[in-house]
Amino acid sequence: MSRLSRFLKDNGISVVFGVGFLLSLIGQAFAGRAEFNEELQSDGARPVGFFEYVATSHFAVDITENWQSEYLQFFLFLFGTVWLLQRGSPESKEMHKAGLESDKDQRVGPHAREDSPRWAAVGGLRQTLYSRSLGIVMLTAFLGSWLAQSISGAAALSEERLRGLQEPVPWASYLLSADFWSRTLQNWQSELLAVGSMAIFAVYLRQRGSPESKPVGASHDATGIEG
């Protein structure tokens, strides 16, 4: 097996989703530019070129409003499923495991193995931080992209208002605006729906071979098993 084939086999998920992300982002830029130019032309303004468009706040707010909700979804799922359970769902731990679990179960401190990450074996702040590192990164990405959404959204709305000879909107006022909360909540509701329905559907439905599903023959009551 060549090095490239081995790399693709070892990294199939990240490569396929990474390429899909880039293609979708480029597609969004083309479609977004066309939509923005229709808006500009109806206002009698000059249309923008492709590279000019991808540097606009209009493009930035459309991207970041989706990013923030995706990272929020993963953060809530990671954090919530420490304590929240769903009987029969492969997305849930077994019913007696709610909480942070014992050091032995988590293989930290004296229970760390030879191949455990170094920070799992050491105690103190490093172990505390490493034990929550995935959630911390997801939360940071969520807060960063939500902040970016608020700043670029305020700029995009202000530009649109100036074009219509109206006052711009300061960032602090934008945080209380209908535009900000409409963009935010329309994304949050769809993410929460997707996560909640996945947890329930996976109790009764199966996808043979997927680690996100229980084995096809597993009982509906079996919790915390992934195929």
Partner 1 sequence: MRTIARLAVLTLVVGVPLTGCAVPQDRLEAVRKATERFATLHTAGDFRAACALLTSAAREEAVHNGGPTCAQALADAELPEPGAIRSTDVYGRQARVELATDTYFLTSFPGGWRISAAGCTPREGRPYRCLLKGD
| Cβ-based nearer residue to partner 1, 17 or 83 | 17
| Cβ-based nearer residue to partner 1, 3 or 46 | 46
d(CA 186, CA 145): 16
Question: Using the rule CB under 8 A, which residue among 23, 31, 45, 136 binds partner 1?
Answer: 45
Taking residue 51's Cβ as centre, other Cβ atoms within 10 Å add up to 9
Q: Does 35 engage in binding with partner 1 (CB under 8 A)?
A: no
Q: Does 67 engage in binding with partner 1 (CB under 8 A)?
A: yes
d(CA 86, CA 71): 22
Q: Does 172 engage in binding with partner 1 (CB under 8 A)?
A: no
Q: Does 165 engage in binding with partner 1 (CB under 8 A)?
A: yes
d(CA 90, CA 205): 11
Question: Using the rule CB under 8 A, which residue among 46, 96, 113, 208 binds partner 1?
Answer: 46
Q: Does 148 engage in binding with partner 1 (CB under 8 A)?
A: yes
Q: Does 61 engage in binding with partner 1 (CB under 8 A)?
A: yes
Which residues contribute to the site for partner 1 (CB under 8 A)? 44-46, 48, 55-58, 60-61, 63-64, 67, 140-141, 144-145, 147-148, 151-156, 158-159, 162-168, 171
